[in-house]
Amino acid sequence: EGGRELGRAELQGAVVTAHRPEDAAGAVGRAVSRAAERAGVSLPLRALWAGLAGAGATAPRAAVIEALRTLGLADRVVVGTDVEAAFHDAFGGGPGVMLIAGTGSIVWTRDAAGEERRVGGWGRMLGDEGSGYWIGLEGLRHVARAEDGRAPPTSMRQRLLTRCGASSVDELVAWVERASKADVAALAPIVAECADAEDAGAAGVVDRAVGELRDLLRAALDGLERGDGGGPDVVLWGGLVAERGPLAKRMTAALGSMGVTAHERPIDPPMGAARLALVTSPD
């Protein structure tokens, strides 16, 4: 857990997939090479711990590990998730609870005995309730229902049309079919702003999102071994719920109604990954 930062590089992110692991491995390779160059460090490193979105499943993780090994970046390569990297920066090796809500949603916990558990994080087809993607999609769905007369008119309509580059609700069909998960998630702040302006439809979407996130956290806390019986250390992270996020105040209030206090702290996932690499290194 010691050490100091020597170099850092930021490049475009990548998601791990089993059928194209070389894409994520290449992105990691470019970032590591640039950071090493800035630090004046030669490759291979003693250890590399890569925290990557999509690396939670066994097959994609194994595939990207193999792809990274062929690049010769480090003597020892470990791949985990971006969530694990963020969690380690927040809590080190200790217990804690992290609710993450950005493009997707998940709660990650570690109890006093070191047992880790996740709740949520099932992806956009099976889960991601309350996430930016979920809010964006629900906002679009409400606009479609309003177009049919199945819901009241909403201020989201024109704002979402403009953001999507569409001139009619009909054009939203084509847009959402080609949109990435990140594209849809980027609509969430608009929905939240409309909710703040007392648009009933938008407020309903946001209220349900907060309820979904609260349910994720409740399930995580119910399954958490408390150890000394004290309250858990809970941290909110992600663009939606972190400090100044569009759902931050609502989520903090929702946690308060559960008797839970969220603690604010800066979280740096790359630093968490670097510290995990130090723990991983046999030297």
Q: What is the pLDDT along the chain (283 residues), one digit of tens a residue?
A: 556 788 888 877 777 777 888 888 888 889 999 998 898 888 898 889 988 888 888 888 888 899 889 898 888 999 988 888 999 888 888 888 999 998 889 999 988 888 888 899 888 788 899 999 999 999 999 999 999 999 999 999 999 999 999 999 999 999 999 998 889 999 999 999 999 999 999 999 999 999 999 999 999 988 776 555 566 788 998 889 988 889 989 998 998 888 888 887 788 888 898 888 888 765 5
Q: What residues contact residue 154 under an 8 Å CB cut-off, 6+ apart?
A: 142, 143, 146, 194, 199, 200, 201, 202
Q: How far apart are CA 19 and CA 3, in angstroms?
A: 36
Question: What would the two tokens of residue 171 be?
Answer: 């054009």
Q: How far apart are CA 87 and CA 237, in angstroms?
A: 9
Structural element, H or E, at residue 183:
helix 181-185
Residue ranges of domains in the chain, CATH in brackets: 21-80 (no CATH), 93-266 (3.30.420.40)
pLDDT of residue 153: 92
pLDDT of residue 257: 87
> Before 44, cis peptide (omega within 30)?
yes
Beta strands in the chain (DSSP E): 45-51, 74-80, 96-101, 105-110, 116-120, 234-237
pLDDT of residue 227: 55
Q: How far apart are CA 1 and CA 279, in angstroms?
A: 7
pLDDT of residue 140: 96
